[in-house]
Structure formats: C-alpha cells, structure tokens
Amino acid sequence: MTETGANLRGLRRHNRALLLGHILRAGGLSRVELAERSGLTQQAVSKIVADLLPERLLDVERQAAAGVGKPRTLLRLRADARCALGAQLDRDGFLVLRTGLTGEVEDLVEGSLPVGFGPQQAVDAVADAVRRLLGDVDPVRVLGLGVGAVGPLDHHQGRLRDATNMPGWHDVPLRDLLAERTGLPVILDKNTNAAAFAHSWPEETPAATAVVLVGTGIGVGLLIDGRVYRGPRTNAGEFGHTTIAYAGPHCACGRRGCVEVMHQTAATRHDAARLLGIGLADLVQVLDLERIVLFGRTIRAAPEVYRETVGQQLRDLLPVPYWQRIDLEVSDLDEEAVALGAAFEVLAGFYADPK
Amino acid sequence: MTETGANLRGLRRHNRALLLGHILRAGGLSRVELAERSGLTQQAVSKIVADLLPERLLDVERQAAAGVGKPRTLLRLRADARCALGAQLDRDGFLVLRTGLTGEVEDLVEGSLPVGFGPQQAVDAVADAVRRLLGDVDPVRVLGLGVGAVGPLDHHQGRLRDATNMPGWHDVPLRDLLAERTGLPVILDKNTNAAAFAHSWPEETPAATAVVLVGTGIGVGLLIDGRVYRGPRTNAGEFGHTTIAYAGPHCACGRRGCVEVMHQTAATRHDAARLLGIGLADLVQVLDLERIVLFGRTIRAAPEVYRETVGQQLRDLLPVPYWQRIDLEVSDLDEEAVALGAAFEVLAGFYADPK
DNA sequence: GCCATTAAACAACACTGTTGCGTAATTAGC
DNA sequence: GCTAATTACGCAACAGTGTTGTTTAATGGC
C-alpha cells in the first residue's frame, strides 16, 4: 500500500506491472493464464496486453493446440527490448556486466584497480567499462546502472559513507558522479543487498532469507516480507559485529567477541564455520528465517566445510519443531553475483513501474 | 503492492482507508486538509467523504472561521461508532478491555486464574469478561477481539504451539475456541507483537523499533518497514535466546550463554541490564533500528537502572556516527499494554479495510 | 452593501475493470 | 468433408473511479 492517494493511472500501472511480472517469472504466458494468476478478468488482461503490445516489450507466439478449442497465444518478454547494467567495486578491481530484460548476462567487462584507488579512478574505470558495454546499444533501451559496493553507504542519497578504510573515500556521492559521467540513472547499494537480489530476483515472494557474504568482512543481505530490507538509514545487515562472546577478543570495530573477529581468529576453518553458525542461529530465531545462503570468497574456498559445519550448528542450536524449517544453501553463483544483483535492482525498478 | 490484480473497488477501498487513517491520526481534519495530506483532489475527497457520512463513522463539526472565506468543516471520528476488545493472558491471570474506535480504553475487566490453568478455563474466563464488557453494546458495533499470549504461536492459524510449559496447552486453537464462544472475529498474536502495536498504533510509519518485553522471558516485537514484523511462521522476535557468550552457562532452551540465561543469572540488576544491552546493540546493528522501547514487569521494577545501563551500553558498543541515532525509551504504558495492543490490532484491521 | 476569499458541491469528462455477447480457430465425431 | 463442441479472444455497453472546470455557500474586510 502506498501512503498517498491512488488514482486510475496508478491502478493501471499496478496491473500492468503485475502482468509483466507474471510473464517474466513464468517465462511466457497466454492471456487466459494471466487472468487466472492475476485475478483479473480475461477482458481486463486483453485490454492491458493490447496496451502493452505497441511498446514492443512482448513477443507474440502462436502456440500449438493442446486440445480442443482455439490455441492460446503465448506472450513472452523480449529480452532485447531493454537492458540493464550492473557493477561491483571490490578492493582491488571492478566488474561491470550487461543483462537483457529477463536478466541473462549479455556481456561483461572486468579490470583491476591499483591498491588504494580513489573515487575518481573508480568512476573512470566503471564509466569506461559502461561505454564499452553499450557500444552499439540504442540508448533508449538502457534502463540504468546498478552498483554494489562495500558499506556503510546511504542508498537513498547514493553516497558512500566514511567507514571505508581507504583514503579519499569520505562521504563520496558515487551515485551522482557515475550518473553524471554515464548519463544513466544509477542505483547504489551495499554489496550484500545486491547479492540478496542476485539470489532471489525475480521470485514473486522470496522466502525470508539471509544471504551471508563472507569475505574480508561478514555481512548479510536480508530478504524480509518478500523484499530486500535495508532499514531506515539503509544500513541493516551489519551482522559481522554481532556479539557471540561478550568478553572475547577485541575487534577492530571496537567491540569484543563479535562474529567477525571470532571467525577471523579461529584456529581452523571448521571452528570458524562453527562460530559463524552460532551467530546465524541467533539471526534465524530473531527474524524467523526460512533460508540461509552462504556466499563469498571465503565460502567458495571451502564450501563443504561451511555447509556441513554451519548446518550442524543450526540443527544443534535451533529447536526446529515440525512447523519450522531452515534451508541452508551454499550459493551456486560466481564471483560476479554482486554485479548481477545490482543489475537486477535496475530491472526490478523497471518491472515495478514499466513506463 | 498487493499480489493480485486491483480494480475500482480496491481503489476506493484504499483511498477510503487512507482518509480515515489521516482523520484518526490528526484527531480531526477538514476536506481541504485531507486533500493536502492524501494527494487526492478536493473533489475526490468530497466524494469519498460523502460516501462515508451515511455510515455514521464521522462527526461533522462547523469550525470557527480562522480568517477570510468559508470556514472549514471539521471531520472527526466518532469514538463510539465502533468498539474493539483486547485481552491478555498471563501466567496467573487475565485482563480484557474495551476501546472505542479511536483507541481510548472505555472499560476493563481483570481476574486471576488458578496455577496451571487449562485452555478451557482460559476461554471461560475471557468469554465471561467479554460478555460483561459488551453488556449494553450494540453487537453490530463490535469489531472483534484481539488476544495477546505468550508464544510460540501461529498467528495465521490462531493456534498456540506446544512450547508453553503448562499441561493441556499442546497445539490449542485458541482463536477458534474464543470465536465460537463469543461469536466475534478473533485475532491471536504474541504478547510482544501486541506490545509493539500498543507502542506504535496509530502512527502512519513508526520508526524501526524493537519493543523489548522483559518479564519471565525476554522477547521483542519488531516494527519494521512501518509495520509489525512477524516472520513467515509468525515466530519472529525470539530475542531472549540470542547468544552473547557461546561458552557460557546452559539455558533451559538448550543453548549456552543466551541473553535470557545471562540476564537471569546476573549478580546485580546493573549487570543484568548491561548484558541485555549487549544483545540489543547487536539487534540495532543488524536491523538498523532507530528506537528501542523497554517494557515489562522487570523493567517497571527498576526503570532507571535499565534506562541508564542499557543506554550506556548502546553508546559504548555502537559507533553511532552523525547519521545514525538510537532512541532508547522506557515504556510509559501500564501492565495492560498487551491487551491494549491486541485491541489496537483489531482497530488496525478496521482502518485497513473499513467495510 | 459590496467584494475578495476560501470551502465545498455540481457537472462533464476520461479512463478503469466488468459484464454480456459475438467471432475466430481449433479438435472430435460421424 | 462436414457439423458440433470447445476454447481463446475481442467488441460494445456499463458502472464506477478520480480529475477538471465551474458554481454555490459562507465568511471577513472595506
């Protein structure tokens, strides 16, 4: 529900977005099926589809008859009708990719950045990659650029905050810098949130999930009530500094015995995974999570250790009665998942309001 | 956004609910002000108000002229147009109250229950109190009964689950039992969620808040994205068993060093509050909370100790840069806040869809 | 007594999804 | 090869929405 009054235009926009979303998730649907899934009448669907067709977002495909009666016509999204860009900034490099309207990766550019690179270098590198990726693409088809970066940052204002321990990165308006350079709408989000998108979009109502990014630090992207939860200051997910041993060793964050420092200083991988599991069990209980996805460089280095040890810890620590289940997954996405998720954020914006 | 198609009826329902909400929160508004706040045109507001008036939900009041021009007519909610009931079940007693449409408590009944009471006794007691509270009230004006109880429970199905350590309380369909006995629509929710309602309704978009209930156990009601977050199995908020010392003392929950056992076994109140503060700091970071409300019998016993010690702990543990603030409050509500919040849940249902 | 000003209603309108019915395209049966 | 049945989909009329343009009502200032 929006907070403001709704009118007929908003009504149509809602239903139009609804139908496009159904077509996207199903891979292709007929008008009859759209009516069933959306709850609208067939006539309403026909009208909206007729409205959509001249915009060339859909492919119309005659379907072979599957029984008596006039065969259904399949409506598919044209993957090349629009495209989105996604980027990720890591400590020593960057990666930018282009996807079509349905989320397939079409092209990818990556490169390295010098140690201690500054904002200008980052903007230059990404903008250059964007230019290359858009070489022969009609500008009107480009929806925008999503950027996943290490937090803390302000998603609403598109600014990186000052906690990054690199010089020159104090309160940088990265979104606007990139928007100016590329001429594109830009979305800036934490890498954990982008990863959460990568692991859920375009599901209609993803399960309550924590996507745990274990790399240099430990953070989570939270999927709650069917969407990414960022919090009022868009800084949710600071899971790494959750206390699991309040009298434990000191961490750089100033606290003692947080998950991150315990994980870092653990004697073995198994121990590290066990401590991570303790923190995750807490998270599951507080948020009633259904699913945990482990992701990141450290996980990729030893997926089985983490899967088994964290899984065992969850089984040990959580009562898990018959009405409660936790699915633990190790991500099957590659390193570029953050860039992919960032592009998905751009796509999600389009599907929420397909102008 | 709803998941299904929207039509004109839904549009009107949305706008009607919107206007009633604005009138409620402002205590009274003119059509012009409603138009400003809702974003609808004055004409749309006039039409919707004209639709609302015959239902006798509103009082129309000529306002004294506040300058030149035709004076505005104030629209107020008629507190006695509807009423809601709220109940809370504690370990040794119960409390049921009645509120008007705007949330003021009109009447209240409380009583004790024998040690180890069973479901039938609870239903009898509450149903009897309801009957007394509704003595001379026109049945069509009664919106329903909200019940706040100790979890875990299934809010969707209205069933208490089996973790309560009282005999006869295995998987009890309390909602349906009460609905059958009273003939009213019944909502069953965790006491922490009811408390969260009591501390936020009817705010339009309450701050991201954890309402911490410290009594026999420790739980939180979470206000996230402007509404109570229950989680997919409606079991979120199990904060008491969050680990803060993974090698600490064993708790009845089967885990070690959780907030509840540490709090319980602390040497002094100050120590207890300090440990609670550690757990809360974690919660703030993970969910990017703006506000913490301390509530419950234990807090009421020593409000200043908790306010100061937890506050100090939050200041010590959280970096709290300029862009991040946490408000810590000690609840100013009385013991009946759970019943009050349960009644508010009923009212919130009405305002979301005023039939 | 008149006028400017503001609130609110009246009337016409464009647009929404719905209802009722007609048309197109296919299979099944003979 | 024809007909009937079935299914998909569009056309037309409709009730209901919020919007726009205009009129009426009620006040203060001069």
Reading the block at residue B275, the tokens are 């440990």
Range of lowest pLDDT (A220-229, B162-171, B191-200):
B162-171
- Smallest Cβ–Cβ distance between A231 and the set B44, B279, B288 belongs to B288
- Smallest Cβ–Cβ distance between B233 and the set A204, A232, A288 belongs to A288
Q: Contact A288/B232 with Cβ under 8 angstroms?
A: yes
Q: Which positions 250-269 of A are in contact with B (Cβ < 8 Å)?
A: 253-255, 257
**DSSP of A99-139:** EETT--EEEEEEEE--TT--HHHHHHHHHHHHHHHTTT--G
pLDDT band at B1 (very low <50, low <70, confident <90, very high): very low
Helices (H), B217-325: 259-265, 269-287, 297-301, 303-317
pLDDT band at B332 (very low <50, low <70, confident <90, very high): very high
Reading the block at residue A49, the tokens are 């589809």
Residue B41, CB, less than 7 Å from strand C?
no
Mean pLDDT value of segment B199-228: 95
- Smallest Cβ–Cβ distance between A286 and the set B1, B236, B317 belongs to B236
- Look over chain A and give the mean of its residue pLDDT values, rounded to a whole number: 93
Residue A48, CB, less than 7 Å from strand C?
yes
- Give the residue whose CA sits closest to C14 at C1': A8
Number of A/B CB contacts below 8 angstroms equals 168
* Higher local confidence (pLDDT), B245 or A166: B245
Q: Which positions 35-94 of A are in contact with B (Cβ < 8 Å)?
A: 38-40, 44
A-chain residue closest to B252, CA distance: A319
Q: Residue with structure tokens 């039938």?
A: B120
Measured CA angle at B9 (ends B5, B14), to 5 deg: 85
The span from the CA of B301 to the CA of B295, in Å, is 10
B34 touches chain A (CB under 8 A): no
pLDDT at A214 over 50: yes
pLDDT at A1 over 60: no
pLDDT at B25 over 70: yes
Residue B42, CB, less than 7 Å from strand C?
yes
Candidates A161, A171, A282, A316: best to mutate against B (most CBs of B within 10 A) is A282
Phi, psi of A60 (to 5 degrees): -105, 130
pLDDT at A160 over 80: yes
Residue B54, CB, less than 7 Å from strand C?
no
Count of CB atoms situated within 10 Å of the CB of B304: 8
A233 touches chain B (CB under 8 A): yes
Q: Contact B94/B178 with Cβ under 8 angstroms?
A: no
Cis before B152 (ω within 30):
yes
The span from the CA of B235 to the CA of A336, in Å, is 34
pTM above 0.85, yes or no: yes
pLDDT in tens, A278-317: 999 999 999 999 999 999 999 999 999 999 999 999 999 9
Cα of B158 to nearest chain A Cα, Å:
14
Grouping H, G, I as helix, E, B as strand and the rest as coil, residue A211 is strand
Count of CB atoms situated within 10 Å of the CB of A120: 11
pLDDT in tens, A228-274: 999 999 999 999 999 999 999 999 888 899 999 999 999 999 999 99
Reading the block at residue A30, the tokens are 């007929």
pLDDT band at B165 (very low <50, low <70, confident <90, very high): low
Closest CA to A309 of A236, A191, A214: A214
Residue B30, CB, less than 7 Å from strand C?
yes
Count of CB atoms situated within 10 Å of the CB of A123: 17
- Look over chain B and give the mean of its residue pLDDT values, rounded to a whole number: 93
Closest CA to B177 of B119, B136, B224: B119
* Higher local confidence (pLDDT), A124 or A255: A124
Report chain A residues whose CB lies below 8 A from the CB of B265: none
pLDDT in tens, B101-158: 999 999 999 999 998 899 999 999 999 999 999 998 999 999 999 999 998 899 999 9
Q: What is the pLDDT at residue A80?
A: 93
pLDDT in tens, A72-97: 899 999 999 999 999 999 888 999 99
